[in-house]
Amino acid sequence: MELCFATNNQHKLDEVSQLLGDSFKVVSLEAIGCTEELPEEQDTLEGNSLQKAKYVSDKFNISCFADDTGLEVEALDGAPGVYSARYAGEQRSSEDNMNLLLEKLVNQTNRKARFRTVITLILDNQTYQFEGIANGEILESKRGEKGFGYDPLFLPEGMNKSMAELTSTEKNAISHRGEAVRKLVAFLKQH
């Protein structure tokens, strides 16, 4: 069975393909001829994930899944949340986003946070959603060179390394996206 993952991120595609094994062929947006930016106009991760999956499914008539991820900081009432990528503006700069987050948390003792990923699968005209959560806290300063986004500021619960200091294998074992993908894979293997 062929499934489109609504992304052109090769790392994400490889990771999911490896987890799904030979039963499913995972293709990118580029592979199905989708070159436009997918809409993300909703105010929840669930809504954005669904909007992207539905857009691809409707326009290209293919079974697909899409994800949306946000960093939710307790002291900021869940912000930046669904706006994580654009927290410091439309330029989507990870550096600017991290700097703004640190600025907003100055003198804040509650630094609890979580990464949350929602994957929406549209298969045989049915919609399914899978969630993954990684709990932790926001560090006082950036640590590590790996990963992307807010990874240098996020210390996963029970660990002494930031997400950006973990190997990809270590990160996938505990990450929000890894958990959501494992739920998706388990569902597809039973379907």
Question: Which residue has tokens 């990771």?
Answer: 15
Catalytic residue among 22, 43, 68, 124: 68
Give catalytic status of residue 68 as yes or no: yes
> What is the longest distance spanned by two Cα atoms in the chain?
52
CA distance 173 to 179: 8
**Local structure of 184: helix, strand or coil:** helix
Residue 177 sits at φ, ψ, to 5 deg, of: -70, -40
Distance, in Å, from the CA atom of 187 to the CA atom of 90, rounded to the nearest integer, reads 35
φ/ψ of residue 72, rounded to 5: -115, 115
Give the SS3 label for residue 128: strand
Active-site positions? 68
